[in-house]
Amino acid sequence: MKPIIKWTVQARRLSILWWILGIIAYVVLELAFYPSIRDQAAELEKSFSSLSDSAIALFSDTGDFFSPVGYLSGQVFYLLMPMLLGILAIGAGASLVGREEREGTLELLLSRPISRSRLMAAKAVTGIFIIAVVGLVGGLATAVMSKLVDLPIPFGNIMLAGVASTVLAISFGSVAFMITMLGRSARVASVGLSSLVALAGYLLTSLASNVSWLSGPSKVFPFAYYHPAEILEGNYNWLNMLFIVGVIALCGVVSWIAFRRRDLISS
Amino acid sequence: MADNLPVIEVSKLSKRYPGASNFAIKDLNLKINPGEVYGFLGPNGAGKSTTIRLLMNFIQPTSGGGKIAGRDIVTESVAIKRQVGYLAGDVELYPKMTGHQFLRYLSELQPPKRASYQQELAKIFQANLSRRIDTLSKGNRQKIGLIQALMHEPEVLILDEPTGGLDPLMQEAFYELVKSTKAKGTTFFISSHNLAEVQKMCDRVGFIRDGQLISEVTIADLSKTAVQTFDVTFAAEAPLLELKKLKHTQVTSNSPSHVSVHIRGDLSPLFTVLAHHGVLSLDSRGINLEEEFLRFYKGSKR
């Protein structure tokens, strides 16, 4: 397994570096404005109060953009961090095995004494590793920047919010990975369907606070169990995370069942 | 691996791809013996690559099965691959890696018996391993493909069109390598379109058409039964009547004194006739395996 992880990471090292730089730049830009926004919070609050509840719910899980937790959740953890990490995760999930299969190099690896299960596991670990590195750097950058701009939120809570958004992103990536592992006809839909799972979960969860009948359907998506403001406040029920981890595990099991005996697609 | 057991044994192996109305492979039976070089010949779409992909467990059989080195090709595929070297028909490598990086990657997945053998192979094929693979020509990529198949010194080599893209010099180097590797007891299963190379390398040839093995013949038997063509120029008029009376012979008259004689099997009757006439020149075109090959595909019987 180790050579596959090592060489896959090496092949993607530049892309990982750019993602790390991008996420740091994004966090720095978002939080650099906090001191001036904090100073004008009262006036800005008035302007934002004219927005509809649904519009506010799309950008914040607290409804409050200018408190320390509301700002950090709304600007970083509620939408943009999961979205950025989700793009990375879905891309990785769809390509880690999918690209090798499409380009014919998967047969080359499987011509060596490696079982499909081990190959799949190696690729999955690689994907989780890549997303975790970028996600944890994002969390760390947020925690450091928060300190620098005097956002009074515990360092540990910010790191935990980073971990939670990373796990959420991994769940989106695992959906893409699973669809890719099903084979040729499903593979073309992997990016689209996994993006749909991410986007639909976000929209339904956000709107469910104002449209009560959406609450039920939203519960089938991982996003419904992700509450970054609660994590930042330190009162998140981590049992919620079990659902997201369960989705990842389920995708892993389905991927394994589908891939272990299916025909590889010739390039 | 027991010496008397076939190294590759395939029994009633069939494959129908999902959604396809016809079988790509139908009831294929093969037995390839230890140390044998087996040529697998057939036109495009005949089922050569499907057979190889089944042997490598890249695709699953619809029915039937097979064994390599006594192990089941589906359930014991990982163990089989410890003993097998494989080259795909369209060699796909990692374009952004150099040859060295690529071979190091595969060596880490399957450590070679001798580290020096990779360098020996690179020398034989004059392969440039320092350049990125996407900057190499098809022939140079093929050399790297061959090195990766051979470098761990497997007991069985399954090669799909191994000389595609190689220049004639490198083709000869490959034939020599097959000969020396075979001498160590390695078994080869080689799919090819190149009939001349099959003649040079193989001990036995299987012809496949429409997913079915239509004939298997040793190269020695093929030589005995194949049509050979002689172009003969006589000093006087060609003895057409005498030549046409010979068994298993067809005569084409090109001019009154020049004929082409296509003869199958024993050549001595032809030479008896020639000995009684003045012959100015005699050119042998050798065994035309291609003609034999086409004869099978036209559906004629031997």
* Cα–Cα distance list, B73 to A42, B61, B65, B69, B82 (Å): 72, 10, 7, 10, 13
Q: What's the CA gap between A244 and A171, in Å, rounded?
A: 6
CB A169 within 8 A of CB A86: yes
Task: Write out pLDDT tens, residues B91-139.
Answer: 889 999 999 999 999 999 999 999 899 999 999 999 999 999 999 999 9
The CA distance from A45 to the nearest CA of chain B, in Å, is 52
Is residue B227 less than 8 Å (CB to CB) from chain A?
Answer: no
CA B46 and chain centroid, separation: 14
Question: Does the residue A60 lie in any domain?
Answer: yes
Q: Give the CATH superfamily of B226-297.
A: Alpha-L RNA-binding motif (3.30.70.1560)
pLDDT value of residue A208: 83
Q: Residue B87: CA atoms inside 13 Å, Cβ hemisphere, count?
A: 28
Among the ranges given (A36-40, A118-122, A197-201, B167-171), the one the predictor scored with the smallest mean pLDDT: A36-40
Region A89-115: mean pLDDT is 93
Domain boundaries, chain B: 8-218, 226-297
Q: Which of B52, B58, B161, B191 to mutate to test the interface with A (most CBs of A within 10 A)?
A: B58
Q: What's the CA gap between B173 and B169, in Å, rounded?
A: 6
Partner residue opposite B81 with nearest CB, options A4, A7, A111:
A111
Residues 93-112 of B with CB under 8 A from A: 93-94, 96-97, 105-106, 108-110
Is residue A110 less than 8 Å (CB to CB) from chain B?
Answer: yes
pLDDT at B222 > cutoff 80: no
Among the ranges given (A54-58, A92-96, A168-172), the one the predictor scored with the smallest mean pLDDT: A54-58
Q: Chain A residue with minimal CA distance to B54?
A: A263
Q: Which of A7, A114, A116 to mutate to test the interface with B (most CBs of B within 10 A)?
A: A7
pLDDT value of residue B288: 58
Among the ranges given (A7-11, A12-16, A218-222, B286-290), the one the predictor scored with the smallest mean pLDDT: B286-290
CB distance B93–A108 less than 8 Å?
yes
pLDDT value of residue B301: 42
CB distance A105–B84 less than 8 Å?
no
Chain mean pLDDT for chain A? 90
Is residue A4 less than 8 Å (CB to CB) from chain B?
Answer: yes
Is residue A13 less than 8 Å (CB to CB) from chain B?
Answer: no
Q: Give the CATH superfamily of B8-218.
A: P-loop containing nucleotide triphosphate hydrolases (3.40.50.300)
- One-letter amino acid at A163 equals V
Q: Chain A residue with minimal CA distance to B49?
A: A266
ipTM: 0.85
Which chain B residues have a beta carbon less than 8 Å from that of A3? 105, 108-109
The partner residues of B37 in beta bridges, in order of sequence, read: B188
* Cα–Cα distance list, B82 to A102, B55, B71, B245 (Å): 25, 14, 11, 58
Which chain B residues have a beta carbon less than 8 Å from that of A13? none
pLDDT value of residue B289: 61
pLDDT at B299 > cutoff 70: no
Q: What's the CA gap between A146 and A149, in Å, rounded?
A: 5
pLDDT at B1 > cutoff 70: no
Q: What's the CA gap between A65 and B245, in Å, rounded?
A: 105
pLDDT at B177 > cutoff 50: yes
Into how many domains does chain A fold?
1
pLDDT at A91 > cutoff 90: yes
Question: Does the residue A118 lie in any domain?
Answer: yes
The whole-model pTM stands at 0.84
- One-letter amino acid at A167 equals V
> What is the band of B170 on the pLDDT scale with cuts at 50, 70, 90?
very high
Task: Write out pLDDT tens, residues B131-169.
Answer: 999 999 999 999 999 999 999 999 999 999 999 888 989
Region A61-71: mean pLDDT is 78
pLDDT value of residue B82: 94
pLDDT at A45 > cutoff 80: no
pLDDT value of residue B89: 87
Q: Residue A222: CA atoms inside 13 Å, Cβ hemisphere, count?
A: 30
Q: What are phi and psi of B157, to 5 degrees?
A: -120, 125
pLDDT at B2 > cutoff 70: no
pLDDT at B49 > cutoff 80: yes
Question: Does the residue A249 lie in any domain?
Answer: yes
Q: Where are any strands of DSSP class E within chain A?
A: none
Task: Write out pLDDT tens, residues B14-48.
Answer: 999 988 888 999 999 999 999 999 999 888 888 99
Tell me if residue B40 falls in helix, strand or coil.
strand
Q: Which residue has the higher pLDDT, A214 or B142?
A: B142
The DSSP annotation for A63-80 comes to S-SSSHHHHHIIIIITTH
3-state secondary structure B256-289: CCEEEEEEECCCHHHHHHHHCCCEEEEEEEEECH
Full domain range(s) for residue A101: 2-259
Chain mean pLDDT for chain B? 88
Q: Where are any strands of DSSP class E within B76-141?
A: 84-87
pLDDT value of residue B292: 64
pLDDT value of residue B133: 94
pLDDT at B277 > cutoff 50: yes
Region A129-135: mean pLDDT is 97
Is residue A185 less than 8 Å (CB to CB) from chain B?
Answer: no
> What is the band of B302 on the pLDDT scale with cuts at 50, 70, 90?
very low
